[in-house]
Amino acid sequence: MSIPLETVLAAKKKLRAQIGLPDWLRGIGVGVGIGGAQCVKVNVHSITPEVIHAIPTEIDGVPIDIYSVGDIVAADSEEL
C-alpha cells in the first residue's frame, strides 16, 4: 500500500508535537521503513520502555519505525 507523502509528513508533524523534545530523541524523518512502505523514522539514543511507551506504532495509518542510533556527535573535520 502506497501512502501519499503529504500524509507521511503530516504524521511526522503530529508525532513531533506529541512527543516534544525528550533527551532520548535524536531525530525524526521520513523514508522507506522495515516493511517497505513509506513511514516516519524516529532515531533515539536507545530503545527503552520509556521510548516504546512514548512512540506509537502508527499515526493516521502511517507506520512509525524506531531506530537506536546511540550518541550523535559532530565529526572533527581533521578526521574526515
Sequence ranges of the domains in the chain:
5-71
pTM: 0.84
For 2-59, the pLDDT digits (tens) are 899 999 999 999 999 999 999 999 999 999 987 788 999 999 999 999 999 999 999 9
**Which contacts (CB < 8 Å, 24+ apart) does range 15-18 have?**
15/40, 15/42, 15/55, 15/56, 15/59, 15/64, 18/59
CATH topology of domain 5-71: GMP Synthetase; Chain A, domain 3 (3.30.300)
